[in-house]
Structure 1
Amino acid sequence: MRTEAKMKQPIDQALVREYVIAAHGNFVEVQRLIEQEPDLVHAVMNWGGDDWESGLGAAAHTGNRDIAVYLLEKGARMDIFAAAMLGELEIVKALLKWYPSWDELKGPHGIPLLRHAAVGGAQSAPVLKYLESIKLEVV
């Protein structure tokens, strides 16, 4: 006999919007919203024109390491853009095999992978150096 799983309702888009905006730099608000609705950790906002952004994506392109780490600890799914900002060189290298035209990859708002590595500061410098070195090989 199959038991029916309790159907969860979709998260209100206004709440998703509030969360993604907060993830650009308001750590306290991100924590409050995740405590209120834990499933926000996987929510994405469609800003239109194929511009999708998660809380992790917002933290990654703004260089907000604390928010990114918090969201990953809460179960957010790592992606190449967050890995670049966080300085996770081995993850970036592993994912690049799937993206031979990696310099064409765009994160939220069309922000390129190199920019994500640059905003990570000293901790992401090895990723930035690596990406710049392989970009030169392609040219």
Structure 2
Amino acid sequence: MNRKKFISNSLLSVSTAILTPTLAFSQSQEKEPKQLDLKLVKDFVVAGHSNLELVKEMLQEHPNLVYSPFDWGNGDYEEAIEGAGHLGNKEIANYLISKGARVSLFVLAMLGKTDLVIPTLEAYPELVFAKGPHGFTLLHHALIGESHDLADYLKEKGLRERMIKIR
């Protein structure tokens, strides 16, 4: 191999070594999913409070909305299932659970799942006073879901408020 060919091959090898990772990185960046539109997320969370048909329609088109929280300000995050939870809408909550929604202690309280809520509160007693979206408490969720045994339990533990301001 002559000197000219050696230098040419060396430069080609070095260029390839430099460009390959750069090209691979730029291509992987293009494959990242786009964030969901903020208005779409807000509309879905609002629908989750009381509009089952719209929830179904929106999930059909955008299945990952089921995981998407909206920030109402000051860190007051809410998912559609939580809206159903604090309004006592069991039908929407159960539908969203069937679609993989992340269930919180508040929604379980609204659904009357005392067999899940009470052992959790026994293990973590400080959660009795936890604040859900908009500051709604477990007592609010138990009462809106007509889970009177759970409401009595929460009152025995000292919880009296249905809402605690979070803003």
TM-score, reference length from structure 1: 0.86
What is the DSSP-based 3-state SS (H/G/I as helix, E as strand, rest coil) of the residue aligned with 1:94? Answer: helix
- Larger Cα Rg: Structure 1 or Structure 2? 2
Instruction: Give the alignment's Cα RMSD to 1 decimal.
Output: 1.8
Q: How does 1:25-104 map to 2 (within 5 A)?
A: 25-97=50-122, 99-104=124-129
Name the CA shift for 1:98/1:54 in 2 (closer, same or farther; >3 Å).
farther
Bigger proportion of residues as helix: 2
Consecutive unaligned residues of structure 2, counting only runs of 5 or more, are 1-27, 160-167
Question: 1:132: which partner in 2?
Answer: 155
Which residue identity does 2:101 align to in structure 1?
A: A
Q: Whole-Å Cα distance in 1 between the matches of residues 122 and 150 of structure 2?
A: 15
Q: What is the percent sequence identity of the aligned residues? A: 39
- Higher RCO by CA contacts (8 Å cutoff, separation 6 or greater): 1
Q: Whole-Å Cα distance in 1 between the matches of residues 128 and 93 of structure 2?
A: 23
- Equivalent pairs counted in the alignment come to 131
Q: Whole-Å Cα distance in 2 between the matches of residues 57 and 68 of structure 1?
A: 8
- State the shift of 1:87 in Å: 0.3
What is the DSSP-based 3-state SS (H/G/I as helix, E as strand, rest coil) of the residue aligned with 2:78? Answer: strand
1:98-123 C-alpha deviation (Å, 9 max, x unpaired)? 532234211111111100111002xx
TM-score, reference length from structure 2: 0.72
Q: Whole-Å Cα distance in 2 between the matches of residues 96 and 46 of structure 1?
A: 26
- State the shift of 1:31 in Å: 0.8
